[in-house]
């Protein structure tokens, strides 16, 4: 890893580690609103816990009626909308869709993405997603996601832990690490708090180039303690 990358990683790790048991967002600032683009197993579990933690969330997908039924279950702090409405609503956006949907979403959501923190939880599977998945696996999912969602401040996370566990980890907070990759220090800080509020301990493994390791089938896949993630990440190259 180059010296500049090491310096960035050190600074971003410091930012992500601020007040590990508390809120890393600006003191007194309201919790960011969260727009979920995709409300399947991953999006619904994430949004459910965040709503319970007092975040205002909007679920969206291609099936608005299913999102309305989900909101009826979640109740407080949740609402349903279209992906366009969720992108406009959220201060933070979470993409939990098949990777093959990202090119079209990047076009249709357009300027609504600019300047927003986007947590990329989508994984590329060539059998399902076609050529763009091959490209993401060759170049790295984080790097390709940043190109497909122009203007967004990408944090890659929630890519290699089972969806059901995402909704249950707050019962035993901090024991399981959540690896993440990003080139944006402020986005890392915001994503870190959201990850902690789900019960995971955020572990920055590097810039977006390291996003290629945040998917099933890589050494960082599955559940690991924070220290185990750091040890594994130290053996990987961007």
* The pLDDT of residue 27: 56
Closest among 61, 183, 28 to 117, alpha carbons compared: 183
**3-state DSSP assignment of residue 154:** strand
Burial degree of 21 (CB within 10 A; 0-12, 13-18, 19+)? exposed
| H or E stretch covering 153 | strand 153-156
Tokens of 73: 């279950």
The four Cα atoms 94, 97, 101, 105 give a dihedral, to 10 degrees, of -20
* The pLDDT of residue 67: 98
* The pLDDT of residue 4: 45
Q: pTM value?
A: 0.88
Cβ neighbours of 17 (radius 10 Å): 15
Domains and CATH numbers, the chain: 3-19+31-233 (3.40.50.720)
* The pLDDT of residue 20: 37
Closest among 110, 121, 105, 124 to 155, alpha carbons compared: 121
pLDDT 10s per residue in the chain (238 long)? 454 444 444 444 444 443 333 344 555 678 999 999 999 999 999 999 999 999 999 999 999 999 999 999 999 999 999 999 999 999 999 999 999 999 999 999 999 999 999 999 999 999 999 999 999 999 999 999 999 999 999 999 999 888 888 877 776 777 899 999 999 999 999 999 999 999 999 999 999 999 999 999 999 999 999 999 999 999 998 8
Determine the Cα–Cα distance for residues 50 and 232; give it in Å rounded to an integer: 29
Determine the Cα–Cα distance for residues 69 and 88; give it in Å rounded to an integer: 21
Tokens of 232: 């594994």
């Amino acid at each position: 890893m180059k010296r500049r990358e090491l310096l960035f990683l050190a600074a971003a790790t410091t930012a992500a580690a601020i007040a590990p048991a508390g809120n890393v967002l600006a003191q007194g600032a309201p919790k960011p609103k969260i727009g979920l683009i995709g409300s399947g197993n991953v999006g619904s579990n994430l949004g459910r816990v965040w709503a319970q933690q007092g975040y205002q969330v909007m679920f969206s997908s291609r099936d608005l009626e299913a999102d309305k039924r989900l909101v009826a279950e979640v109740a407080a702090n949740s609402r349903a909308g279209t992906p366009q409405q969720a992108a406009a609503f959220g201060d933070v956006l979470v993409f939990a869709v098949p990777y093959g949907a990202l090119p079209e979403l990047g076009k249709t959501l357009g300027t609504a993405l600019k300047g927003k923190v986007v947590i990329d939880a989508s994984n590329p599977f060539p059998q399902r997603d076609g050529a763009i998945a091959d490209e993401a696996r060759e170049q790295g999912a984080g790097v390709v996601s940043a190109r497909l969602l122009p203007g967004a401040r990408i944090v890659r996370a929630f890519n290699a832990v089972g969806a059901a566990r995402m909704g249950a980890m707050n019962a035993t907070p901090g024991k399981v690490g959540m690896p993440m990759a990003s080139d944006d220090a402020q986005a890392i800080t915001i994503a870190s708090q959201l990850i902690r509020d789900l019960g995971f301990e955020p572990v920055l493994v590097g810039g977006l180039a390291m996003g290629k390791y945040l998917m099933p089938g890589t050494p960082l896949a599955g559940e690991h303690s924070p220290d185990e993630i750091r040890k594994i990440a130290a053996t990987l190259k961007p």
